[in-house]
Amino acid sequence: MKLFQLVEAALRACFFIGATILFLVSLEIRLKRRRALGALHELRAIAHVVDMHQVAKTPAGIVGGSAAGADASNRTVHTPEELRHYLNYCNELLAIISKVAALYVQDFPDAPTVAAADQVENLCSGLSQRIWQKITVLDQLVGQQQPQAGA
């Protein structure tokens, strides 16, 4: 009877020690995940801020001479060349945000965190494609305007 009680007590102690070790190991992973997801959330917000600032800068508004709904005196971009540089800077900033997101999960192969980093990269890629479309439209509008100016 005493042997049975001793074995039962030893098994309980092993169970609680194992549960404590498992909790401590998972605690470190959960803390790292929380920090990484918080940083990735901030990067996602920064990407949206970049998008919000460039969305009002339209090629037609610059090339056509209209302020595109904004006060012309408050515009930061006045010429097609300035708009092209601005949009290229936005693209570069989105690329940097995407790379920083990848760096956050480089040494932390946690599935939810990697998925969040992939979402940030996909967001930046999509926003970058829209900016490249603006650059293409700008080049087309400037190309159409130049022959008219020479005629």
pTM recorded for the entire structure: 0.75
Instruction: For the chain, give the percent of residues with pLDDT over 70.
Output: 88
Quickly tell me which residue has 């302020």 as its tokens: 67
* 3 state SS of 77: coil
Structure confidence at residue 68 as a pLDDT band (50, 70, 90): very low
Q: What is the pLDDT of residues 96-107, one digit of tens each?
A: 999 999 998 888
Residue 34: pLDDT over 60: yes
Give me the phi and psi of 89, to 5 degrees please: -65, -40
Quickly state the pLDDT bin for 17 (edges 50, 70, 90): very high
Residue 143 near residue 80, CB atoms below 8 Å: no
Domain boundaries along the sequence of the chain: 33-150
Cα separation of 110 and 105, whole Å? 8
